[in-house]
Amino acid sequence: MIFGLEFPPIQNLVEWPNWFGPEGSWYGFNKIAFINVIALVATTSLFFIAGRSKSLVPKGAKNLVESAVDFIRDGIVLETMGPEGIKYLPYLVSLFFFILITNIFEVIPFFHMPGNARMAGPAVLALLTWAYYIAVGIKHQGPKYFINAIAPAGVPKALLPLVIPIEFLSTFIVRPFSLAVRLFANMLAGHILLVTFSVLCITLFTASLLAIVLPLSFAMLVGLTGFEIMVAFLQAYIFTILAAVYIGSSMHAEH
């Protein structure tokens, strides 16, 4: 309570009651789950519409989907993994679209909640990516993958006691943790930022004298909404490109 500004408790901002299923049960379906399902349906229908038309000239949804796939293939896969990474394209495209659409609900009216401002989504995606790049490493290098990963070739023997724990931590612990936390914290921060300015606008609207600064606050809110759209896109891109880098680094022993 500062100058009549009543900030809601954070639980009210990010936690949503179940629509069905008892609270705390493993299948309780709430707003976040609904956003995830919308992401699935939206991506599926976009790709379905795009894949249905057989004309070689893209337009509408097809144009959007094709430019996105082209962007992921040329800008992410080929840049970080090279041509042999093309077979991981489906995973990366799914990641990109899922994260982008769940993020973009941050600014969609009547939702105003990024699906990834809850730790669950990012944690699941990061764990899946973690399992995926370990699986790719084992597939490409066999059990030697773990040795190659924690003890890079060319490191002097004397440094190994120092290098092995650091590499183990950074490869198998910090990577998934930072992947999840990066996405989650960015979206949560953006969400709290938008909520802060919305609350400020509402408070100023009812304030008598301070209402003269309302336009500034509102302009800030509008600007931040645009900024958050950019952040939603950027976080999807960064998550995808980091997944690509991790998968690519598992394909060959580091040197």
Partner 1 sequence: MLALVRVLAEAAATDVQQATETAAKNPILPTINEMFWAAVVFLLLWALMKFVLLPPITKLMAARADTVRGDLQAAEAAEAQRVSRLSDYEAGLAGARSEAIGIIEQARSEGDAERRVQITAADAEVATLRADAAAEIAAAKVRARAELTSSITDIAVGAAEAVVQKPIDRASQTALVEDYVSRSGSQN
Partner 2 sequence: MSILAQAAAATADKATQQAIAGATNAGMAYGLAAIGPGIGIGYLVGQSVQAMARQPEAAGMVRTTMFLGIAFTEALALIGFVVFILLKFV
Q: Which is nearer to partner 2, 124 or 189 (CB)?
A: 189
Other beta carbons within 10 Å of 33: 19
Q: Which of residues 181-240 bind partner 1 (CB under 8 A)?
A: 188
Q: Which is nearer to partner 2, 11 or 206 (CB)?
A: 11
Reduced to 3 states (helix: H, G, I; strand: E, B; else coil), residue 5 is strand
> Counting contacts by CB under 8 A, is residue 15 touching partner 1?
yes
4 contacts 207 by C-beta, under 8 angstroms: yes
| Residue 193's binding partner out of partner 2, partner 1, none, with CB under 5 to 8 Å set by partner kind | none
CA distances from 97 to 43, 197, 216 (A): 7, 28, 34
Q: Which is nearer to partner 2, 21 or 74 (CB)?
A: 74
> Counting contacts by CB under 8 A, is residue 10 touching partner 1?
yes
CA 189, CA 228: separation in Å to the nearest integer? 10
> Counting contacts by CB under 8 A, is residue 26 touching partner 1?
yes
Q: Which residues bind partner 2 (CB under 8 A)?
A: 9-11, 75-76, 79-80, 178, 181-182, 184-186, 188-189, 234, 237-238, 241-242, 245
Q: Name the DSSP class of 73.
A: I
Return the residue of 7, 18, 140, 163 that touches partner 1, per CB under 8 A.
18
> Counting contacts by CB under 8 A, is residue 21 touching partner 1?
yes
CA distances from 123 to 5, 17, 49, 192 (A): 34, 20, 31, 20
**Which string of x and - marks every residue 62-91 that binds partner 1 (by CB under 8 A)?**
---xx--xx------------------xxx
Q: How many residues does the chain have?
A: 255
